Amino acid sequence: MRLIPCTEEAHAAAILAILNDAIVTSTALYDYKPRTPENMVTWFATKRAGGFPVIGAVDDDGKLLGFASYGAFRAFPAYKYTVEHSVYVDSAHRGEGLGRTLMEAIVAEAMARDVHVMVGAIDAANAGSIALHERLGFEHSGTVRQAGFKFGRWLDVAFYQRILATPLNPVDG
């Protein structure tokens, strides 16, 4: 396994498959319907426009096993040092440590890009993701109860954050 930067041309279809599996089988994403290839065009355009990384884990044959990324937390200028991240692993490769490897890589990338706070919005029933975040130094910063409704039930979303030592010289504006 190796880590690579994902590109739309090489990885959009594999990322779409991983996301759609999470949509139809879990509460990791609060979407109802699978996304389309057109959604991935917009997704990658947003990543490029914001300068946001997409890091993939691939096997020796180049098959994408999982990915991590981040994007804007909120669309106000003073949030420029805060991002909301996500990590997804192909269902056939969960439990192999890829989530941790991808999370460590996206945290390192955030620090290299002068991010100060990383936020994860996690379904409160997702004990595995919560445990992973806690092992990596993320702290619970609040829960919005009944924020979503999927699979016939209300879902609570828990926010986990990690404060990074960067940037060294933050500025207003």
CA distances from 43 to 10, 52, 81, 100, 127 (A): 14, 11, 21, 23, 27
pLDDT tens digit sequence for 39-94: 999 999 999 999 999 999 999 999 999 999 999 999 999 999 999 999 999 999 99
Are 92 and 125 a contacting pair, CB within 8 Å? no
* Rounded Cα–Cα distance for residues 70 and 51 (Å): 10
> Whole-model pTM?
0.95
Percent of the chain with pLDDT over 90: 99
- Give the CA count within 13 Å in the CB-facing half-sphere of 116: 10
Over residues 155-169, the pLDDT tens digits come to 999 999 999 999 999
Could you read off the pLDDT of 89-101 as tens digits, one per residue?
A: 999 999 999 999 9
- In this structure, are residues 57 and 67 in contact, taking their beta carbons and an 8 Å threshold? yes
Q: Phi/psi class of residue 5: alpha, beta or left (left: φ > 0; alpha: ψ in -120 to 50)?
A: beta
